[in-house]
């Protein structure tokens, strides 16, 4: 019988973070009395991190979670008299101990617990990143609004892209180097260079660029410019739909915390441009409003009455079930990407200064879908008055 590896989930309670201009990363920033270095930075006291497992098996607020399990995380408050619309900075999530968060920014995210060779403790880190003081005053330096590269789609499984088992093992080793803000990024870059060295197959280079972008994104966005650069490179190469959409979410999040004298409205519009181009990919498919349930496990045991070859029939049944499971899983992934991208758009346009007109014009231009634009605008309007 296989035993299920489990991890203990530790939520590191955030408090008042008064860091100015995206200062120091790679530390556990927990201090209830920290003051802002700049008096113009509002005091934001993040409330306790709440969590709830997606699985309804057992208590939803348990801290003992299994490999592959999803856990919803959210911050319950932002300080006395501070609303979501008043936030001038970004809430940034990362995980140490084996896991990823998606999206990276916002008052809520989804944690996926992953296998790790580290100890069984999983730590959630939440950081409030205020914008530089001068970037909230005027539009001083424009951000070029990005055009997402359209590389060819390649939905083949990783194993079909690359038959070299040793290379695949090294790619897996690269992925396991990810450890939130404690990730050794120089070592990661070196490992990626070795994987790319002399390897010119575009589909495989795309996988390395994707993993490298993911590791940088999941490290607490310490180098947002590097995340953007890697996302652009990977999106110009053959990638499957799910990886493309995740990279576009990372890219948009990185634009929101990019250092420089960019005003919040500039960052918002640039990020929304990337989010919307990703959302357009999901709109092309007739996705359900809610993700479908995965098919129940199939147990094809015993003889199949009426067939001469029972073993063959059981194998066929397993293959049909597996294909259906893959199909439904893909739909669930696409629905999840759609909802994440929509939520990120809503999260930046529900904040002051409100500019619903800008969003409508941008969405109409990119989505070219009036109904989807209207639904998106309605969601933002509801969020602006606190009905989200």
Domain boundaries, the chain: 6-130, 158-286+329-384
Give me the sheet containing 6-11, strands edge to edge.
64-66, 6-11, 121-129, 90-96
What are 216's two structure tokens? 């940088």
Position 43 scores a pLDDT of 47
Q: Which residues of the chain are modeled with pLDDT < 50?
A: 1-5, 13-43, 133-141, 301-304
pLDDT tens digits, 52-81: 888 877 788 887 888 888 999 998 777 666
What is the Cα–Cα distance from 248 to 256, expressed in whole angstroms? 13
Residue 120 CA to its chain's centroid (Å)? 23
pLDDT at 258: 85
Judge contact between 67 and 3, C-beta under 8 A: no
Burial pattern 320-334, b for ≥16 Cβ within 10 A else e, equals: ebeeeeeeeeeebbb
Show Cβ contacts of residue 305 under 8 Å, excluding neighbours closer than 6 positions: none
Separation of alpha carbons 142 and 127, rounded Å: 26
Query: Cis link prior to 10 (omega < 30° from 0)?
Result: no
pLDDT for residue 41: 37
DSSP conformational letter for 269: H
- What's the pLDDT score for residue 284? 83
Q: Which pLDDT score is estimated for 140? A: 42
CA distances from 32 to 35, 44, 128, 320 (A): 9, 11, 13, 55
Cross-sheet strand order for the sheet of 99-102: 49-53, 70-75, 108-113, 99-102
Task: Look at residue 251 in the predicted model and tell me its pLDDT.
Answer: 96
Contact 12, 48 (CB under 8 A): no
Record the tokens describing residue 248, joined without a space.
């576009």
């Amino acid at each position: 019988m296989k035993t299920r590896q489990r991890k203990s989930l530790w939520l590191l309670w955030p408090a008042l973070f008064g860091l100015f201009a995206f200062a120091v990363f790679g530390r556990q920033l927990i201090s209830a009395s920290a003051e802002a270095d700049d008096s113009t930075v509002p005091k934001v006291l993040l409330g306790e991190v709440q969590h709830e497992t997606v699985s309804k098996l057992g208590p939803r607020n348990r801290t003992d979670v299994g490999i592959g399990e999803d856990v919803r995380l959210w911050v319950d408050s932002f300080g006395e008299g501070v609303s979501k619309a008043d936030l001038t900075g970004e809430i940034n999530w990362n995980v140490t101990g084996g896991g990823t968060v998606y999206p990276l920014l916002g008052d809520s995210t989804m944690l996926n617990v992953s296998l790790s060779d580290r100890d069984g403790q999983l730590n959630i880190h939440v950081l409030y990143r205020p914008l530089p003081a001068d970037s909230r005053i005027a539009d001083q330096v424009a951000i070029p609004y990005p055009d997402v590269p359209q590389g060819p789609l390649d939905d083949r499984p990783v194993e079909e892209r690359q038959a070299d088992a040793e290379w695949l093992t090294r790619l897996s080793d690269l992925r396991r180097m990810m450890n939130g803000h404690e990730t050794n990024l120089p070592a990661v870059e070196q490992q990626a260079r070795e994987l790319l060295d002399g390897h010119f197959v575009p589909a495989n280079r795309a996988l390395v660029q994707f993993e490298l972008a993911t590791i940088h994104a999941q490290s607490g966005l310490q180098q947002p410019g590097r995340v953007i650069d890697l996302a652009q490179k990977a999106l110009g190469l053959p990638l499957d739909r799910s990886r493309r959409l995740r990279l576009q979410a990372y890219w948009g999040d990185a634009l929101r915390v990019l250092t420089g004298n960019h005003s919040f409205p500039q960052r918002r519009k640039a990020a929304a441009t990337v989010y919307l181009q990703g959302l357009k990919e999901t709109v092309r498919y007739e996705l359900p409003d809610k993700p479908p349930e995965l098919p129940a496990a199939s147990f094809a045991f015993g003889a199949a009455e009426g067939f001469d070859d029972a073993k063959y029939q059981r194998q066929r049944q397993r293959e049909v079930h597996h294909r259906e499971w893959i199909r439904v899983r893909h739909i669930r992934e696409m629905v999840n990407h759609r909802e994440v991208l929509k939520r990120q758009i809503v999260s930046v346009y529900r904040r002051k200064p409100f500019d619903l007109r800008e969003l409508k014009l941008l969405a109409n231009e990119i989505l070219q879908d009036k109904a989807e634009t209207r639904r998106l605008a309605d969601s933002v309007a509801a969020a602006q008055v606190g009905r989200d």
